[in-house]
């Protein structure tokens, strides 16, 4: 079957690659043996921008240690004709009945870059948000009522709650 998304299935610690689909083979010009011999992070990160390498590694590490999952994130690829510049990465936990164990499903999908006329304030907001996502220390965005609007991966990791468990909840409820 043909997919628009690249699919990788790994063990729950994201150390053993069990399956890659044709899209991943085409995008990264690799085989399953390459994943087995080199490892998922070095293989996938080698064509990413420096910021994306850091962000990808941090999110994969968070998935390995917390088991709570992370929100979808974007990574940028450079100098690579086979891979669209920006890819959305999603990591899901699931249990394989056939293998009788927990696995991770990692999906890469192309991000359509739609350009709208941006005013200066919108441009500043988008730059701030990108910076917020890459910060190595915990940060959270709340509204005036103390409700969490967004959080970065280190904040998610520090509190050991899933991203979806924290969004739209009052910040003080996690420190009561």
Quick: pLDDT tens for 28-72.
889 999 988 888 888 888 889 888 898 898 888 888 776 566 788
- Sort residue 20 into left (φ over 0), alpha (ψ -120 to 50) or beta: beta
Q: What is the pLDDT of residue 111?
A: 80
Cβ neighbours around 59 below 10 Å, total: 21
Q: What is the pLDDT of residue 7?
A: 92
* Better-predicted residue by pLDDT, 71 or 87: 87
d(CA 158, CA 95): 26
63-65-66 Cα angle (round to 5): 70
Q: What is the pLDDT of residue 170?
A: 92
d(CA 48, CA 52): 6
pLDDT over 50 (residue 1)? no
Rounded to two decimals, what is the model's pTM?
0.62
Quick: pLDDT tens for 91-144.
888 888 888 888 888 999 888 655 555 566 666 666 676 677 777 888 888 888
Q: What is the pLDDT of residue 68?
A: 61
* Better-predicted residue by pLDDT, 163 or 21: 21
Q: What is the pLDDT of residue 125?
A: 65
């Amino acid at each position: 079957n043909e997919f628009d998304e690249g699919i990788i299935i790994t063990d729950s610690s994201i150390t053993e690659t069990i399956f890659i689909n044709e899209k991943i083979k085409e995008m990264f010009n690799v085989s399953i043996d390459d994943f087995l011999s080199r490892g998922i992070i070095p293989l996938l990160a080698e064509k990413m921008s420096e910021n994306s390498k850091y962000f990808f590694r941090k999110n994969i590490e968070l998935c390995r240690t917390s088991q709570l999952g992370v929100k979808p994130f974007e990574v940028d690829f450079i100098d690579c004709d086979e891979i669209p510049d920006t890819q959305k990465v999603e990591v899901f936990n699931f249990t394989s009945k056939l293998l009788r164990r927990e696995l991770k499903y990692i999906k890469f999908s192309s991000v359509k870059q739609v350009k709208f006329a941006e005013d200066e304030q919108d441009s500043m907001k988008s730059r701030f948000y990108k910076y917020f996502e890459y910060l190595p220390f915990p940060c959270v965005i709340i509204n005036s009522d103390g409700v969490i609007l967004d959080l970065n991966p280190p904040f998610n990791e520090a509190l050991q709650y899933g991203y979806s468990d924290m969004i739209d909840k009052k910040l003080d409820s996690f420190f009561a």
